[in-house]
Structure 1
Amino acid sequence: MVAPDTELAAKIQSDVPHAARIWNYWMGGKDNFQADRAAGDAVAEVYPEIVLMAQHSRRFLVRAVRYLAAEAGVRQFLDIGTGLPTMQNTHAVAQQVAPESRIVYVDNDPMVLVHARALLANTTSEGVTTYVPADYHDPETILAEAARTLDFDQPIAVMFMGVLGYEPDLDVLRSIVQRTMDATPSGSHLVLWDGTDTSPEVVAGAERLAQNGGVPYILRSPQDLADCFTGLTMVEPGLVPIPLWRPDDADAEAIDAYGAVARKP
């Protein structure tokens, strides 16, 4: 049973930097506290591109979801590690293309869940938008709860958008992805992006995050991320810096975050 909003709100620690709220701050949102802004500013001092990365992460989500709904014909989305709602969330993009789309958001953060109730409302009468309070370390619970809304006999887009860096063990990370994808049928897709250790500046930014009370974020190599797609068929252009994945802007430039979309045969 989901706790009432008052109980969820009571769990929010405003004086401790929190990943979802720091990210919200970098994206220009207002759902953050002074502790989050201080940690976010500390990172930006050594890695100013973090703000750009945050913006590009949302643009990558929009392009990926639009592709899946419009070109790949996917009508079901499992967005794991949702984070705080901002503009152009998964359900809004998918249901704009295909009004009957069904979306399940997953997060274990109380502030995210409070906002989910208020903001992740269905945008069409034909579709369904809901959320599951769960941790991505427990795929079996996520899958069982998602099955209340999604049909696991039909293709599903599984999304891990910049969240797996909070798991320090690469083998555990791969297991989470594999166990989740194993439950989906042929024609399903994996959408994944994460920060990469591709510049000294971004490495310094990750160190600053931990030094200022943020949850440590483990930067991976592009090859580490590529291994998460083992057994799947990459959609062109494959694993690339997220601004370069089917960009709307011809002048898009690389950044220290790689992502891809891949299809389950």
Structure 2
Amino acid sequence: MPPGIDVNVPNAARMYDYYLGGKDNFAVDRAAADAVLSVAPEMRDAARSGRELIKRVVRHMIVERGIRQIIDIGSGLPTRENVHQIAQEIDPSVRVVYVDRDEVVCRHGQALLSSANTTMVQGDLRDPAAILADPGLRKLIDLDEPAGVLMMFLLHLIPDGDGPHDPVAAIREALAPGSVLAISHAASDARPEHMAKISAIYQRANSPFTPRAPETIRAFFGDWPLEEPGLVHLWPFAELPAGVDPDLAAMGYGAVAVKRR
């Protein structure tokens, strides 16, 4: 086992991998994830729906907004239909940098990502300057040109005490006009007792679970105008897919915003 990797503490990224049916997880992750599933069996559907949301957002960035470089912060373990695969299927020249703070995630990603236009770097959103200065990121990303930034299912894993709005603001400030920011986030105003039980289980993991109110989530975008339809229940740019429980969609919010030119 590589140094610095604790297999005795549940890991949020590996738990998410387990929800998706992946194999890059340990017994402690599966136990914690099963505890969440006992309270919220829809979590597997939520994880899969989240992948569909990412696909729609990436396509919107590239096709509708002309973005040709993407930073995926808090990317988690590589899984099926990754951001670079979605993006480069549309345009092979799109450059993608994955960022995650977890060493296991980064080791897996660096081993799997061999494209000249794709890389993975280790970084923590709470230190945005280090992320933006990383040589691996700067090799592919030109901050003087518009970039797409994904923070999907990330910010609810950063507690209020860490001041998550500040590093997001620093990222926004560093991006060129025309850049696009996409965020999805767990909601505190839907089934609050349910969310409280999930949050209690995540207290055992390496990241807490902090669902937030819609106005608090909207504040992550600062003064950037939101794309239509605004901050909605996790299904921007599409009708709610057939078979998806509306209560499941209501468990989170998503939005996309563009920096004014």
TM-score by length of 2: 0.91
Give the distance between the partners of 1:214 and 1:151, measured in 2 at CA.
32
Give the distance between the partners of 2:52 and 2:212, measured in 1 at CA.
21
TM-superposed deviation, 1:110: 1.2
Give the distance between the partners of 1:247 and 1:119, measured in 2 at CA.
31
**Equivalent residues of 1:107, 1:134 under 8 A apart:** yes
Equivalent residues in 2 for 1:81-92 (5 A)?
81-92=74-85
2:24 equivalent to 1:35: no
String of CA shifts for 1:41-95, please: whole Å, max 9, x gaps.
Answer: 1111111222121111111111100111111110010111111010111111111
Task: Select 1:226's aligned residue among 199, 213, 218.
Answer: 218
TM-superposed deviation, 1:203: 2.4
Give the distance between the partners of 1:202 and 1:120, measured in 2 at CA.
35
Give the distance between the partners of 2:140 and 2:202, measured in 1 at CA.
36
Is 86-95 or 197-206 further displaced after alignment? 197-206
**Equivalent residues of 1:196, 1:221 under 8 A apart:** yes
Q: Structure 1 pair 173/69, CA: closer, same or farther in 2 (3 Å)?
A: same
Alignment partner of 1:228: what SS?
A: helix
TM-superposed deviation, 1:249: 5.3
2:254 maps to 259
- For structure 2, which runs of at least 5 residues remain unmatched after alignment? none
TM-superposed deviation, 1:11: 2.4
Amino acid at match of 1:27: L
Give the distance between the partners of 1:147 and 1:22, measured in 2 at CA.
30
Task: Select 1:77's aligned residue among 51, 70, 76.
Answer: 70
Give the distance between the partners of 1:149 and 1:179, measured in 2 at CA.
20
1:130 maps to 119
Give the distance between the partners of 1:137 and 1:91, measured in 2 at CA.
24
**Equivalent residues of 1:69, 1:94 under 8 A apart:** yes
1:165 maps to 156
Alignment partner of 1:181: what SS?
A: helix
**Equivalent residues of 1:70, 1:98 under 8 A apart:** no
Give the distance between the partners of 1:45 and 1:220, measured in 2 at CA.
22
2:53 equivalent to 1:60: yes
**Equivalent residues of 1:22, 1:37 under 8 A apart:** yes
String of CA shifts for 1:157-216, please: whole Å, max 9, x gaps.
Answer: 111111112221277211111100101111001111111112121222222232x44532
Equivalent residues in 2 for 1:234-253 (5 A)?
234-242=226-234, 244-247=235-238, 250-251=241-242, 252=244, 253=246
1:152 maps to 143
**Equivalent residues of 2:126, 2:162 under 8 A apart:** no
Amino acid at match of 2:211: L
Is 212-221 or 154-163 further displaced after alignment? 212-221
Give the distance between the partners of 2:127 and 2:108, measured in 1 at CA.
22
Give the distance between the partners of 1:120 and 1:246, measured in 2 at CA.
29
Give the distance between the partners of 1:232 and 1:79, measured in 2 at CA.
19
Once superposed, what is the RMSD of the aligned Cα atoms?
A: 1.7
Aligned residues: 252
TM-superposed deviation, 1:112: 0.5
**Equivalent residues of 2:69, 2:94 under 8 A apart:** yes
2:205 equivalent to 1:205: no
Give the distance between the partners of 2:117 and 2:47, measured in 1 at CA.
27
- % of aligned pairs identical? 37
Alignment partner of 1:78: what SS?
A: strand
TM-score by length of 1: 0.89
Give the distance between the partners of 1:171 and 1:63, measured in 2 at CA.
30
